[in-house]
């Protein structure tokens, strides 16, 4: 059985490398999975999600759900729900977004997960993206919790090789 969590750090130097990491994580994605993406405005959260979804659905247009809050995509194996919680102000709004159903039907990708705090599923992949001012490289800190721990351990072992 996996330990409770596993941490790995990737330093990525381009959108191409970000897309590669998203592609590698997309093949690990299962029904019931949650991925929480944290980082400042403009750090690359939506770019990562867009790459992940377009790996599964290559012809899909993937807009940022900043104003709609939620976008859903019917992938071949299950539905993918992409939520941007930047504008969410209350728990009532969160309940109305139907995240429990999203996890039942497929996978949930959450930008600005701090808006959910204790409502986040315990079994999830946390991705924290950091960039220094003026720099191009991004630090992707991945923490696999519960069932994600072994998947992230395997990713760390293999590295960014497709």
Question: Which DSSP helix (H) or strand (E) runs through 152?
Answer: helix 148-158
Q: What is the 3-state secondary structure (H, E, C) of 76-114?
A: CCCEEEEEECCCCCCHHHHHHCCHHHHHHHEEEEEECHH
Tell me the torsion sign for CA atoms 141, 147, 151, 157.
positive
Burial of 151 (0-12, 13-18, 19+ CB in 10 A): buried
pLDDT one-digit tens code per residue, 52-93: 999 999 999 999 888 889 999 999 999 999 999 999 888 888
Looking at residue 2, its pLDDT comes to 46
Q: Is the pTM of this model over 0.85?
A: yes
The structural domains of the chain, with segments of one domain joined by +, span: 5-158
* pLDDT confidence tier of residue 158, bands split at 50, 70 and 90: very high
The torsion angles phi and psi of 121, rounded to 5 degrees, stand at -65, 140
pLDDT one-digit tens code per residue, 106-126: 999 999 999 988 889 999 999
Dig out the tokens for 21 from the structure. Answer: 């990491």
The region, left, alpha or beta by phi > 0 then psi within -120 to 50, assigned to residue 108 is: beta
pLDDT one-digit tens code per residue, 1-22: 445 999 999 999 999 999 999 9
The closest of 47, 27, 14, 41 to 154, measured between CA atoms, is: 27
Looking at residue 11, its pLDDT comes to 96
Q: Is the pLDDT of residue 95 over 90?
A: no
pLDDT one-digit tens code per residue, 25-44: 999 999 999 999 999 999 99
Looking at residue 120, its pLDDT comes to 92
Q: How many CB atoms lie within 10 A of CB 149?
A: 20
CATH topology of domain 5-158: Rossmann fold (3.40.50)
Q: Is the pLDDT of residue 141 over 60?
A: yes
CA 135/CA 105 separation, integer angstroms: 39
Do the bridges between strand 34-38 and strand 106-111 make them parallel or antiparallel, or are there none, so unpaired? parallel
Q: Confirm if 73 and 57 have CB atoms less than 8 A apart.
A: yes
């Amino acid at each position: 059985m996996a330990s409770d969590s596993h941490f790995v750090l990737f330093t990525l130097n381009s959108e191409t490398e970000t897309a590669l990491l998203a592609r590698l994580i997309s093949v690990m994605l299962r029904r019931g999975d949650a991925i929480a993406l944290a980082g400042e405005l403009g750090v690359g959260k939506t770019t990562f999600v867009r790459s992940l979804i377009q790996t599964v659905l290559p012809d899909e247009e993937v807009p940022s759900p900043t104003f709609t809050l939620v976008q859903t995509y019917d992938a071949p194996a299950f539905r993918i729900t992409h939520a941007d919680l930047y504008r969410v102000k209350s728990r009532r709004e969160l309940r109305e977004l139907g995240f429990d159903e999203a996890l039942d039907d497929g996978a949930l990708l959450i930008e600005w997960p701090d808006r959910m705090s204790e409502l986040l599923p315990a079994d999830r992949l946390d991705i924290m993206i950091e960039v220094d001012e003026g720099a191009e490289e991004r630090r992707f800190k991945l923490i696999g919790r519960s069932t994600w721990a072994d998947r992230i351990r395997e990713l760390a072992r293999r590295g960014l090789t497709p």
